[in-house]
Structure 1
């Protein structure tokens, strides 16, 4: 079972997380990991043995998020270690320059209460307990906001029913409605409708919405080739169509260590050899927390103006009034974060 599938199962389809950020953090440890941890990490991350190829992956990964006045994806990616631990200068430079990891010394042993406060302030964590047994912790947070920074003048907001996949009404949502031409397709294999909404300056990012029976499980297990094929099949609608997407805020806080252990990453947390080339003495991370917030509201997506001749039509609406998945992609098809919406705002 993949990491995405684990998260979907534990959250009943209402979640948001960034596998991309977890990948970069783990890659920093994979490069210097000893013992069986190296093999576990390489296998889960899909890293090649060739060092030059791996470094190309890391550089490409760090180029994925471009910031500007219209784009903001503020991340915090931290490796906190006890103040008594010495960190390898070579690894520190690698982790910072290739994986975007910030390393910070904290009084984990001397003042665990203060360390807990530092952690909660750093990523707005609400986990009731924190494990400091390994003398280090990993923290990761993302607040998606500011990408959709102009309102649709024509957006209409309606309180509307929200259904489950069987068509039963399970609550209500505040639906944002507008009429625009977008890219859309229906995948007969997945039995799902997939729509693309460009966001950011010059449409440098793409928001993908997918809705249909079983789409959650299908896309959670899909590889990058499947994703690229789906996006390649997207076509512009011939005329402006009715688009309706709920306003929502989803906050997910995940115990990433537990999730990773369930898919085979086990030695990093307990084997001193795993971090022996990184810190002295070895400081295995005892906790890995990720918190992601995704806010979608009517101040809003920037859709392109209608232009040119469009060859194919795909119906006259995309109405997200039942469980759906969403993800944000950059121009390299990197999924910066993904999530699912299955629980209506009002019940």
Structure 2
């Protein structure tokens, strides 16, 4: 999964028109897996290679069940995900394929009058996705729609009184604007990743800390996107291994924000080498009759960071002068996100990356 997530991240970076973006690699992974289940042998293998999915059907189903179970709804964590193949009226899904994708909760199949009434279809899609989607087109007989929205309670709240409009700096350290920093002093899992020269911090989400968000800052870099471009699976695990519980409370400050992105996934998948899916009837002949030819694949992702949490922050105990912090000296007992940073949401059991983002420009520009 990380091989695909890293490849997709690099494709997003290479093609993004916005400095701030958020996306869900696992949602794209599930959709592509669903389409591959109805693809011809060549296209199927091409997608399976990109996703690192095994050829054995029983093993694949175990992968699908494990992956879809990472996205859950609870009272304190809301991750709303919709994965839809929208077929033109008159295009009939193949029953065998339909049963597979529904059984494994990979993708929902709906119909709309794409060719007969594209205006009505566009309005229905806006309703489903709560977005304008200017890149959407109806040249084919289907479109792929993907939405994912995150809004959850932190395990430990950020007190309202500790939110301050604070300066935000660009990658060179120059003032760029302002953000509303949510501040708390608490014990946290923090670390320093030598290969990336990055400070990282992990904050738990929800009552049982089922989810975590890892933040990464690059104080020694003038181009964090380029530096993060060296990311490999080995470095991912170096990040996780670097995280250590602080002996003493750490000053934590991250922006309060709502970030939303609309990504043309089709162009990214083509960038990654899957090109036959969109206009070759043989490629999707087992998906539907006539074969589905999706002219668009669009993802709209939204991530909300509020200050509410389940538990009030404990009073910070007084540190003992001269005692070791247990942290790398470059961490400096603080993680203040007042310059560009990256972050990722993942589940605590399997470390599957559900959403990832880059925060480069401040909420309020100079």
TM-score category (smaller protein): over 0.9
TM-score with structure 1 length normalisation? 0.92
For 1:150 and 1:171, how far apart are their aligned partners in 2? 27
For residues 78-117 of structure 1, the C-alpha deviation after alignment (integer angstroms, 9 at most, x for no partner) is 1110120111111111112214311111111221111111
Query: Which residue of the partner structure matches residue 112 of structure 2?
Result: 106
Query: Which residue of the partner structure matches residue 251 of structure 2?
Result: 242
For 1:228 and 1:188, how far apart are their aligned partners in 2? 12
Mapped contact 1:154–1:178 kept (Cα < 8 A): no
1:197-276 matched pairs, under 5 angstroms = 197-212=203-218, 213=221, 214-219=223-228, 222-276=231-285
For 1:193 and 1:302, how far apart are their aligned partners in 2? 26
List runs of 5+ in structure 2 lacking aligned partners. Answer: 1-5, 318-323
* SS of alignment partner, residue 267 of structure 1: coil
Mapped contact 2:259–2:302 kept (Cα < 8 A): yes
Counterpart of 1:334 (choices 352, 357, 360) is 352
Mapped contact 2:152–2:206 kept (Cα < 8 A): no
Q: CA deviation at 1:4?
A: 1.1
Q: CA deviation at 1:242?
A: 1.0
Query: Which residue of the partner structure matches residue 3 of structure 2?
Result: none
Q: Aligned pair 1:312/2:326, yes or no?
A: yes
* SS of alignment partner, residue 119 of structure 1: helix
Moved more, 72-81 or 223-232: 223-232
* SS of alignment partner, residue 231 of structure 1: helix
Mapped contact 2:184–2:313 kept (Cα < 8 A): no
Q: CA deviation at 1:13?
A: 3.8
For 1:204 and 1:111, how far apart are their aligned partners in 2? 44
Q: CA deviation at 1:225?
A: 4.2
Query: Which residue of the partner structure matches residue 8 of structure 1?
Result: 13
Query: Which residue of the partner structure matches residue 288 of structure 1?
Result: 297
Moved more, 183-192 or 5-14: 5-14
Name the CA shift for 1:157/1:61 in 2 (closer, same or farther; >3 Å).
same
What is the root-mean-square deviation of aligned Cα atoms in Å?
Answer: 2.4
Mapped contact 2:165–2:179 kept (Cα < 8 A): yes
Q: CA deviation at 1:39?
A: 2.8
TM-score with structure 2 length normalisation? 0.88
1:86-105 matched pairs, under 5 angstroms = 86-105=92-111
Q: Aligned pair 1:180/2:194, yes or no?
A: no
Q: CA deviation at 1:317?
A: 0.8
For residues 289-311 of structure 1, the C-alpha deviation after alignment (integer angstroms, 9 at most, x for no partner) is 1000111122247688689xx97
Q: Aligned pair 1:128/2:145, yes or no?
A: no
For 2:134 and 2:83, how far apart are their aligned partners in 1? 20
Q: CA deviation at 1:215?
A: 4.4
For 2:139 and 2:153, how far apart are their aligned partners in 1? 39
Name the CA shift for 1:229/1:129 in 2 (closer, same or farther; >3 Å).
closer
Moved more, 319-328 or 150-159: 150-159
For residues 198-225 of structure 1, the C-alpha deviation after alignment (integer angstroms, 9 at most, x for no partner) is 1112111001000002544454553444
List runs of 5+ in structure 1 lacking aligned partners. Answer: none
* Paired residue total: 346
Query: Which residue of the partner structure matches residue 325 of structure 1?
Result: 342
Name the CA shift for 1:318/1:150 in 2 (closer, same or farther; >3 Å).
closer
For 2:161 and 2:202, how far apart are their aligned partners in 1? 18
* SS of alignment partner, residue 294 of structure 2: coil
For 1:202 and 1:149, how far apart are their aligned partners in 2? 8
For 2:146 and 2:310, how far apart are their aligned partners in 1? 26
1:150-169 matched pairs, under 5 angstroms = 151-153=157-159, 156-169=162-175
